[in-house]
Each structure stands twice: as C-alpha cells, then as structure tokens.
C-alpha cells in the first residue's frame, strides 16, 4: 500500500517521496543540522487534504510530523521514515481592516501576516524573523516586539480551525471547545493541525525605531544593571534588551514600535550609560524592523541554542552574562517581558510564564559538522551559568530536552491540565513530534 493509493480522489495537494524532484527541499528545515528522511511528504492544499493526510498516517501506522515554517531548532516537523504534513502551500493571510482581524493559514510565514496587516496600518504580535512559521510560533505563545504592547500572539487569538487526531475539522474559540482553545494558546502542536488562525489586530501604525549602544563588556556591569532596571517601567511600546557575543562588546538597546520621536527620552537614557564604542539609532518602517534579523537568522547553518526565563538578575547573574564574551563562540541576549504579557492571568492560557521578567537565550551557528558537539557544549556551559536564576523556559526556545524540559516549560498545574486536554483530543498521541505532552 502507498500513500497515493490511500488518499481520496478529492486530494488536491501533492505527495513527494524520496527521488521526487522537490523532496530534498521539502525535508530541509531551518536548522542545517537536521537531516531526516520522511517516507512521504504530503503537501496539502487545504483543510480537507490535511484531514486525509492525518487519516492516512494513522492507517499506515506512520509517525506523523507537521511542518509549519520549519523553524523548530530540533526539527520536529520532519519524521524519519514517517509522513510529513507540509503546510507550505497553505500560506495565505487575509485581513479585515474594519473588524481588525486576520485569518492566517496554518503554513503561513510571519512576513505574510505582517505585510497583509501593515497595508492597513495594523499589526499583531509576531516574531522577530519574518521567515518563521506562524504555526509553531503562535501555538507555543508567540513573542515579539509588540508583546509588551498587545500581548503574545496567542493572547490575540480569537479562534482556531483544527484538524484533530480523528481527522475531523473543528473550531476552537472561547465558546466552542473552550478547553481546546485554552490548550492551543501555548500548548504547541499537541492537539491537532491548525489550518487557520483567527487573530486580533491593533492600530499600531507603521513606524518603529531601534537604538543601541556598544559598551566595553569588561566594565559594563553598572550600565547593564541600570538599563535592565528600566526595562519594566519603560512605556509598553518599548522592549529593552542587552546582548553579548563571544569576543564582542556589551550591547544595550531598545526596540520601539510607534512614532520615533516619542522614544526620545528612552534613547537619551541609553546615551547616559557610559562612553559608547558605537551608537546606532534608526527610525524605520515596522515591516523593515520585522525583517532586519532575517539574514542573520538565515537558513542552512547548523544551530544550537539554550534559554531560560528569569525573574531576578542580581549582580552575580549579570556578571555571568558579561562573562559570555570570554567564550570562543555564542551570542546571548536578555529581552524584557512584562507589560501586556503580564496582564493576562497565569491560568487563562496554556502559556505558563506570565511573571517572567526577562528571557535569556544563548545560541551559536556554524557550518562544519565536526564542530557540532563542541559548540553545543559551549552553549550549554554558558546557559548553565544563568541557570541558578532560571524559573522556566519558553517552550518554543526549548530544544530536544525530553520530558524534563517540557515540564520546565509549563510547570505542574498547566502541564496537568494540558495532559487532560490531550487525553480528550489525542488519546493515542498521534501528534507526538513536538514538545510532547503525553495523554494523562
Ligand atoms: C530564526 C528564528 C527566529 C525566531 N524568533 C522567534 C520570535 O521572535 N518569537 C517567538 O515566539 N519564537 C521565535 N522563534 C521560535 C519559533 O517560535 C519556534 O521555532 C517555532 O516552533 C517555529 O514554528 P514553525 O512553524 O516555523 O516551525 P516547525 O518546525 O514547522 O513547527 C514547530 C512545531 O510546531 C508544530 N506546528 C507547526 N505548525 C503547525 C500547525 N499549523 N498546526 C499544528 N502544529 C504545527 C510542528 O509540528 C512542530 O512540532 C524563532 C525561531 C527561529 C528559528
């Protein structure tokens, strides 16, 4: 039996198998270290195709992977020897400017959503690299430069259209299947294939500003402490951050979404932190802001990253962060949370870390497979120096760290409730190639 035999005559997409001309491109994901070979890539044209593909995977007993934008660093989308549902043809984003809503297909990339919304001066929180998939990002929460202003992507979800493990199409909203609606706002791809996200948009305007200073990392402690202390009192249009990289300076900066002139007091505060080695202040369209990291985050490199949520950053933690500059590889950041993220009750969605004050992340990229272990080990070592202050981890920043990592991403209460929802909607754990929550 082959997949092509078992798909219904109504199937409108395409099936790629090893040897098909588009097969290798379809199994290639963002992290160049991921090299898996699905038996079938089922490139779906719509929800009915997805329903058929889920049923076929179950009939054939194949591991099922779901590819949104292909950006999970662990490469969850690509099942070795299994069936990959490839949503890349389902990439549309349609905006209703009067209702301030967007309907976004499950395989859309963030750039499509941003472009469609900005045509009307609107936006909602999306990530900071435009070639990331809305699918994985929104299902894990969704953090970006608008999050302090309007909440996470999942906080702006009005409804989901979902293909379940039974191959049925259901809607999940506050009124229809509310427990599933709760779980989809942070619980990842555990509950089905989301073929459409309905999102609330906001009148953000089209302007933004970035401001950064580079300082001598060796003498950066006071400036770092001062800057991060301001992160939570800052207007919600601002996201303050700090960055360090191997052999580099300490960079302190902010991203502002709104009229650039309104950011002047914050920028002046940045200038008062010390004598900068370099200073960059740039007013730019919001769409350019959303693409400015696209090249640095290009596909194809081998990657490794580790992350922690932190609430307190005493001097010992800041010193550990500054000491990252002495490593031979890696770049790290501390990015402020708070604002609208923290307005939401902890139990209101499956995103569990409303009280995180900063997200810490360290990562490296390289090309030679011979460096895999060494560079990953360096990132782990650096992240371990911040771990004493860790209060959890963002599920979308988690690598393949097994059950302990998933527990860290959710905490006991949210994890337990997610496991109940999983039992109700996917008792056989069909959707398990993700940060998996087995049925209770
Ligand atoms: C360069 C880069 C920048 C990033 N920036 C941000 C950021 O600014 N903010 C942020 O919050 N995160 C960010 N992330 C993390 C990102 O949210 C996760 O990697 C996320 O998993 C990517 O989703 P994807 O659809 O592209 O990935 P995929 O690998 O395709 O999918 C990831 C997981 O989600 C599941 N999935 C995807 N789509 C669907 C769907 N439609 N229905 C059901 N399950 C689905 C997959 O099965 C898989 O388990 C970034 C990642 C990268 C690599």
Asked if residue 213 has pLDDT above 90, the reply is yes
The confidence band for 6, taking pLDDT boundaries of 50, 70 and 90, is confident
Q: How close is the Cα of 39 to the center of ligand 1, in Å?
A: 22
Q: Which of 135, 160, 163, 295 to mutate to test the pocket of ligand 1 (most atoms within 8 A of CB)?
A: 135
Average pLDDT over residues 258-276: 96
The confidence band for 265, taking pLDDT boundaries of 50, 70 and 90, is very high
Query: Residue with the nearest Cα to atom 32 of ligand 1?
Result: 136
Ligand 1 atom closest to the CA of 189, numbered from 1: 44
Q: How close is the Cα of 72 to the center of ligand 1, in Å?
A: 5
3-state secondary structure 316-371: HHHHHHHHHHHCCCCEEEEEECCCHHHHCCCCCCCCCCCCCCEEEEEEEEECCHHH
Q: Which of 123, 133, 180, 433 to mutate to test the pocket of ligand 1 (most atoms within 8 A of CB)?
A: 133
Please, is 165 exposed, middle or buried when counting C-beta atoms within 10 Å of its C-beta (0-12, 13-18, 19+)?
Answer: buried
Q: What is the pLDDT of residue 5?
A: 75
- 358-412 pLDDT tens trace: 999 999 999 999 999 999 999 999 999 999 999 999 999 999 999 999 999 999 9
3-state secondary structure 191-242: CCEEEEEEEECECCCCEEEEEEEEECHHHCHHHHHHHHHCCCCCCCCEEEEE
Please, is 3 exposed, middle or buried when counting C-beta atoms within 10 Å of its C-beta (0-12, 13-18, 19+)?
Answer: buried
The proportion of the chain whose per-residue pLDDT surpasses 90, expressed as a percent, equals: 98
User: Ligand 1: residues whose CB is within 6 Å?
Assistant: 30, 66-72, 76-77, 87, 106, 127-129, 132-133, 135-137, 139-144, 189, 193-194, 297, 396, 433-434
Query: Residue with the nearest Cα to atom 1 of ligand 1?
Result: 297
Domains of the chain: 3-86 (3.30.43.10), 93-204+411-425 (3.30.465.10), 207-397 (3.40.462.20)
Q: What is the pLDDT of residue 2?
A: 67
Query: Residue with the nearest Cα to atom 17 of ligand 1?
Result: 137
Ligand 1 atom closest to the CA of 136, numbered from 1: 23
Please, is 346 exposed, middle or buried when counting C-beta atoms within 10 Å of its C-beta (0-12, 13-18, 19+)?
Answer: middle
Ligand 1 atom closest to the CA of 434, numbered from 1: 49
CA 290 to chain centre: 14
Q: What is the pLDDT of residue 326?
A: 96
Average pLDDT over residues 197-223: 97
Q: Rounded to an integer, what distance in angstroms lies between the CA atom of residue 19 and that of residue 246?
A: 42
Query: Residue with the nearest Cα to atom 49 of ligand 1?
Result: 434
Q: Rounded to an integer, what distance in angstroms lies between the CA atom of residue 376 and that of residue 370?
A: 11
Q: How close is the Cα of 137 to the center of ligand 1, in Å?
A: 4
Average pLDDT over residues 419-435: 98
Q: What is the pLDDT of residue 3?
A: 67
Asked if residue 172 has pLDDT above 90, the reply is yes
| Mean pLDDT score of the chain | 97
């Amino acid at each position: 039996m082959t997949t092509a035999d078992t798909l219904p005559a109504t199937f409108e997409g395409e099936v790629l198998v090893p040897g098909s001309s588009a097969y290798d491109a379809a199994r290639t994901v963002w992290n160049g270290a991921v090299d898996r070979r699905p038996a079938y890539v089922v490139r779906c044209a719509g929800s009915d195709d997805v329903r058929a593909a889920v049923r076929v995977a179950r009939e054939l007993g194949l591991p099922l992977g779901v590819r949104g934008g292909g950006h999970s660093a662990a490469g969850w989308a690509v099942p070795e020897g299994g069936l990959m549902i490839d949503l890349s043809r389902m990439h549309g984003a349609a905006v209703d400017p009067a209702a301030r809503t967007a309907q976004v297909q499950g395989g859309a990339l963030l750039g499509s959503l941003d472009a469609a919304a900005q045509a009307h001066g609107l936006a909602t929180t999306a990530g900071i690299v435009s070639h990331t998939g809305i699918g994985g990002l929104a299902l894990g929460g969704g953090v970006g430069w608008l999050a302090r202003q309007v909440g996470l992507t999942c906080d702006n979800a009005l409804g989901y259209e979902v293909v379940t493990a039974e191959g049925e199409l259901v809607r999940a909203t506050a009124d229809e299947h509310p427990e599933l609606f709760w779980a989809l706002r942070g619980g990842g791809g555990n509950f089905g294939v989301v073929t459409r996200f309905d999102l609330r948009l906001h009148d953000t305007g089209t302007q933004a500003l970035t401001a950064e200073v580079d300082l001598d990392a060796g003498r950066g402690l006071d400036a770092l402490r001062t800057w991060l202390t301001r992160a939570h009192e800052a207007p919600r249009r601002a996201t303050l951050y700090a960055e360090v990289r191997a052999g580099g300076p300490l960079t302190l900066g902010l991203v502002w979404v709104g009229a650039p002139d309104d950011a002047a007091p914050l920028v002046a505060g940045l200038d008062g932190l010390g004598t900068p080695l370099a200073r960059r202040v740039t007013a730019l369209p919001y769409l350019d802001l959303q693409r400015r990291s696209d090249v640095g985050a290009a596909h194809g490199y081998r990657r490794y990253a580790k992350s922690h949520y932190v609430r307190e950053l005493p001097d010992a933690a800041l010193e550990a962060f500054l000491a990252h500059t002495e490593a031979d590889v890696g770049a790290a950041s501390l990015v402020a949370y708070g604002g609208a993220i923290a307005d939401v009750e902890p139990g209101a969605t499956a995103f569990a870390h409303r009280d995180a004050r900063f997200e810490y992340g360290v990562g490296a990229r390289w090309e030679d497979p011979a460096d895999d272990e060494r560079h990953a080990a360096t990132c782990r070592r650096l992240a371990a120096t911040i771990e004493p202050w860790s209060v959890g981890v963002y599920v979308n920043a988690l690598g393949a760290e097994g059950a302990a990592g998933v527990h860290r991403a959710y905490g006991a209460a949210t994890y337990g409730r997610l496991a109940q929802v999983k039992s109700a909607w996917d008792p056989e754990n069909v959707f398990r190639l993700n940060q998996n929550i087995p049925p209770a």
